[in-house]
């Protein structure tokens, strides 16, 4: 198997008023809408976790944390990400850098860019500079929707 592998992950959640909006392990303050989800609905952490798994062809998070299992209701997505990181490490690989894109019309996330990068980096034991965070609006095409796309580079460790 190659010593470097690329992983790609996506996640989306529907947004509704009166719900919390979690992104990258952070609760977005004063968000007018939040994710409708079985877990905490953190689409960033779900997409990063799927990217880790996909890089080693390990399937996706639904296989490890089925959303039909009542035990996973309200699950902290950091638990999901930590487990996926372990699965990668057990196979001899470590993430090197992450590039993530969040598509969300509101609220504006620019002020949270550094905190989200720091949070995701800490969960993956990476430097903050190894996590690139971009934000896009949907230009009003999907106002009740958050979409996240993530690539990750994995490398074999000693």
Contact residues toward ligand C5P (CB under 6 A) are 104, 108-110, 135-137
Ranges within 34-93 binding Mg ion (CB under 5 A): 46
Rounded Cα distance between 111 and 109, Å, is 6
Smaller CB distance to ligand C5P: residue 3 or 137? 137
Q: How far apart are the first and last CA of the chain?
A: 14
Question: Interface with Mg ion includes 149 (CB under 5 A)?
Answer: no
The nearer residue to ligand C5P, 146 or 154, going by C-beta atoms, is 146
Shorter beta-carbon distance to ligand C5P: residue 97 or 138: 138
Nearest approach in angstroms of CB 49 to ligand C5P is 22
Distance CA 40, CA 43 (A): 9
Show the tokens assigned to 34: 């939040």
Decide if 12 contacts 107 (C-beta within 8 A). no
With H, G, I as helix, E, B as strand and everything else as coil, classify residue 134.
strand
Look at residue 114 and give the partner it binds from ligand C5P, Mg ion, none, a contact being a CB closer than 5 to 8 Å depending on partner kind. Answer: none
Query: Which residues are at the interface with Mg ion (CB under 5 A)?
Result: 11, 46
């Amino acid at each position: 198997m190659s010593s470097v592998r690329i992983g790609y992950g996506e996640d989306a959640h529907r947004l509704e008023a009166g719900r919390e909006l979690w992104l990258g392990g952070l609760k977005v303050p004063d968000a007018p809408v939040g994710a409708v989800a079985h877990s905490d609905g953190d689409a960033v952490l779900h997409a990063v976790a799927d990217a880790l798994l996909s890089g080693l062809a390990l399937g996706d998070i639904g296989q490890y944390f089925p959303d039909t299992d009542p035990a996973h209701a309200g699950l902290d997505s950091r638990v999901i990400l930590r487990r996926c990181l372990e699965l990668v490490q057990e196979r001899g690989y470590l993430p090197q850098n992450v590039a993530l894109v969040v598509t969300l019309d509101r609220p504006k996330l620019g002020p949270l860019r550094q905190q989200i990068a720091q949070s995701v980096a800490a969960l993956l034991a990476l430097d903050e500079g190894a996590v690139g965070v971009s934000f896009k609006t949907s230009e009003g095409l999907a106002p009740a929707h958050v979409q996240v796309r993530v690539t990750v580079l994995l490398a074999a460790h000693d």
